[in-house]
Structure 1
């Protein structure tokens, strides 16, 4: 089966490569054709796919613990942004998986992240200040939706407290436009300057924004809140929130002296979009509206499991999103929100996106007896130590490749609600999160090549910390891991 999976994936990519190499479009220049022929990555791909190798992926991902040389805050599910070698973090929680029983209660306010942090690698220090009181409850939320566009960060929703209880009991209906350099200045000055209106340049409140556990994207001034739910009241086992089952679109408009959302549109589809806490991969396609997204995994089905069929979101720049369910692909691993490495392989007009999901919560696990992936009989959706990768054209096709022994595994049951920070020098164009694989493997493509860092998230000591009569404590991952790519050759 492994050989078959490998040959199918090789054929998928090789056909695309050959298509653009042998039949250049009118827009493809001679320089672009030469770029493909001279690329070490393209050359290695051809060598690998023309061989009889049984390696399941031509790029292997591995993690290695690194010492940053200074103390860093420990968080899971935060909002984050980057400017150069500085990371900004707020929201999220300082504890592991929330409690599943009534006593002690889940989501206590004492475990909410009450600070805004700047992690500064150049100066090897972390600086934190309390969240300013006017926005304390909104910006201390967990699983907020957020998106960075240049030096601007957008954040909305999240599960937090309305100030009337000692636990989270409210899904926020606030939206923030944030100037990241000014937010960094505010933290480093210990809250002295600049003023809050210079940092939070737009603050909007609207029921349309009341979503947690979804994801945000922005394309051509169109804002999208994808999936998620509105959880009402304090968390109780067995209860569920009101799933949006939608892609909610809006724009920003000036209204008097303030701002409001406008041009709202809800694309509602309970079959495709009844999901939360999934991985949203930002992809680059070859079409004119080139920014797209793919939803991988998410919870919960009517059977209390995760979703296996990817969903493609296209035409985002037009303001009229197209939603397509992939009925051919059945995802095996890593269904839950986790650290992800979004990358693109680009030669002229040719585009294939590559997404690696680092652990999280999975459907199948590796069975050492059979040497195969299998769904455990007694543990639904256990924590994962698998690294899974998805090749996609971003429109209608995905191939899943999962690293199994002797290939690298996660260094524990890690990755859920963690963050991947790519190296800025490897980013594709003006993207804030997509790695350019041509930059990773340019020159001498021998690996492993450091591509970024995995930070935070939930650390579980076992696959299922609440199984049977045992109750293992989860925690926030306190280690920083370098993420490496190695180009495999026959």
Structure 2
């Protein structure tokens, strides 16, 4: 059901109040056509010398509800494309000449990928496998020589020598994201999904979320790939995510890392997460004090940094979201519709996060499953965050939005009208124009839920807890161990709006310290470490 989320309003002075928010740029979206490039979504890409390499993904729109009709192999993208955005032309080659393991993986959807120098690494992905005679998540790591492959495709030469591949269940992940910090790769979130999709939960598939950040190194120096596991961090509450945006970051202390933006699904509800999680070399930090409302699924995104103010800006383009604006009213739609919103989340020097809506929107209900290909001719950090202060021009292209799903309605899936969606063939050039920003802040994005435990460390099965909630709604809890196991879960009842005191009785005597997480209204999370006195 759609409801007007009345507690979220815009700031008004007279009729409207617009905020510069230390981002003195407007965003301009210009459509261009690339000859020979079809509509695609949920693909992998690399780039070299201004040209793009596009691999995998799907040629159709949103997947159907019926298991027999979802993710048909006939709409897998079995062609590799090279795109020259300057001349707006493309070259292509079929995957058919490649070994079975490589060609099957590289026509899959929602692969995890990262380009390291000239090498594009691709992990996992989901699609029909002829050799397995089933839809599977591929357990593959593939390394691709990007400039070598692009040259071969442009000159109609054999391509098989530009690929290496190994298999391991460690890589059987789809819908996550792959990044790199220093010399270590980070496979963040995602799930293993084998079998036919089924929205009713009938046993046509098996699904396991990784709930992990898998850290590893890759040795690509020999003829055969190899890898070494560095660490596997498990968090079944905050890392239970897939189909999200992993946005590269420059943190206030200058450290480079990533932010997990939103994603699905919450551990106890088929709803998106709203708060982000920061990923650094030292570990991951859920930012539960802030909720991001305007972008909840994977879409095009880009990170921009202003050194003078030590401010990080993350831009999101369209996609699917649990919230969107109708005029000046923020609408909550738990069906998570397609949206046109262009939004920004800014991290200030003090670490505070604020979300803003740009006044202009995407041309259509599109952007879900799209990729933002950054303009690497601009000054940028090693993780591809663009250095705004080093750009002298007042108007410049920061990158291109490629592909994604287009829809003619907000909720085609729930209406069983997925045939009205399609893969978008239009490429959008994205420009920043230096002028006063008219972006609108989303108010009340701060988490109103908090709790304290005293004393901490605890002794025995009783916890004295104080917590505060803004209104009466569902309040659940999870108890997890430090190594990522769920010990207990339940619901808290008989509380009032405002401040509450209660004696929380643990389900068992705890011998090890643990994490207590409260989830309020399926929207706000709060977690604390609870130490157990020996």
TM-score by length of 1: 0.79
Partner of 1:270: 236
Pair 247,471 (structure 1): closer, same or farther in 2 beyond 3 Å: closer
Deviation string for 1:109-143 (max 9, x for gaps)?
11000011101234442111011431110111100
Match of 1:28 in 2: none
Tell me the SS of whatever aligns to 2:195. coil
RMSD, matched Cα: 2.7
Q: Which residue of 2 aligns with 1:388?
A: 343
Q: Which residue of 2 aligns with 1:436?
A: 387
SS at match of 1:231: strand
Sort the Cα spacing of 1:173 and 1:124 in 2 relative to 1 into closer, same or farther, 3 A. Answer: same
Checking the alignment, whether the CA contact within 8 Å between 2:310 and 2:349 is kept in structure 1 is no
SS in 2 for 1:137: helix
- Cα deviation for residue 258 of structure 1 reads 3.4
Is this contact kept in 1: 2:252–2:351, CA < 8 A?
A: no
SS class of match (1:270): coil
SS at match of 2:366: coil
| Match in the other structure for 2:49 | 84
1:384 Cα deviation from its structure 2 partner:
1.1
Task: Quickly say closer, same or farther: Cα 1:470–1:115, change in 2 above 3 A.
Answer: closer
Which residue is 2:79 aligned to?
A: 115
Q: CA shift at 1:154, angstroms?
A: 1.1
Aligned to 1:464, what secondary structure does the other structure show? Answer: coil
Change (3 A) 1:255 1:412: closer
Which protein is richer in helix relative to its size? 1
1:474 aligns with 2:433: no
Q: How does 1:59-458 map to 2 (within 5 A)?
A: 59-68=24-33, 70-103=35-68, 105-131=69-95, 132-134=97-99, 135-164=102-131, 169-192=135-158, 196-197=160-161, 199-200=162-163, 202-239=164-201, 241-253=207-219, 258-287=224-253, 290-301=255-266, 302-315=268-281, 321-347=282-308, 351-368=310-327, 371-376=328-333, 380-392=335-347, 397-403=352-358, 407-431=359-383, 433-440=384-391, 442-443=392-393, 445=394, 447=395, 449-458=396-405
Tell me the residue number matched to 1:54. Answer: 18
CA distance in 2, matches of 1:223, 1:461: 38
Quote the Cα distance in structure 2 between the aligned partners of 1:323 and 1:296: 13
Structure 1 distance, partners of 2:350, 2:186, is 18
Distance in 2 between residues matched to 1:411 and 1:257, nearest whole Å:
46
Partners of 1:312 and 1:396 within 8 A in 2: no
Contact in 1 for aligned 2:64/2:418 (Cα 8 Å): no
Would you tell me which structure has more strand in proportion to its own residues?
Answer: 2
Partner of 2:451: none
- Name the counterpart of 2:461: none
Q: TM-score, normalised by structure 2?
A: 0.73
Distance 1:220 1:162 in 2: 35
Shift of 1:165: 6.7
CA distance in 2, matches of 1:192, 1:243: 38
- Structure 1, unmatched stretches of 5+, are 7-51, 316-320
Number of corresponding residues: 418
Q: 1:254 to 1:55 in 2, by over 3 A?
A: closer
Please tell me whether the aligned partners of residues 76 and 92 of structure 1 are also in contact (alpha carbons under 8 angstroms).
Answer: yes
Q: For 2:368, what is the secondary structure of its paired residue? A: coil
Once residues 367 and 212 of structure 1 are traced to their aligned partners in structure 2, the CA distance between those partners, rounded to angstroms, is: 34
- Could you say what secondary structure the match of 1:160 adopts? strand
Q: Is the 8 A contact 1:283 1:394 kept in 2?
A: no
**For the structure 1 residues 259 and 454, does the alpha-carbon distance in structure 2 shift closer, same or farther, using more than 3 Å as the test?**
closer
Instruction: Report Cα offsets for 1:237-262 as digits up to 9, x if no partner.
Output: 23462000010111125899733221
Rounded to whole Å, the distance in 2 between the matches of 1:88 and 1:124 is 14
Q: Runs of 4+ in structure 1 displaced over 6 angstroms?
A: 254-257
Larger radius of gyration: 2
The aligned counterpart of 2:463 is: none
Residues 186 and 214, structure 2, Cα contact 8 Å, conserved in 1 = yes
Q: Following the alignment from structure 1 to structure 2, what is the Cα–Cα distance between the partners of residues 110 and 469?
A: 20
Q: Return the offset for 1:220.
A: 2.2
2:229 & 2:10 partners in 1: Cα distance? 48
Q: Distance in 2 between matches of 1:83 and 1:227?
A: 28
Alpha-carbon separation, structure 1, partners of 2:285 and 2:331: 28
Pairwise CA distance, 1:427: 3.8
Q: Deviations over 1:385-411 (max 9, x none)?
A: 1111111269954221122xxx10111
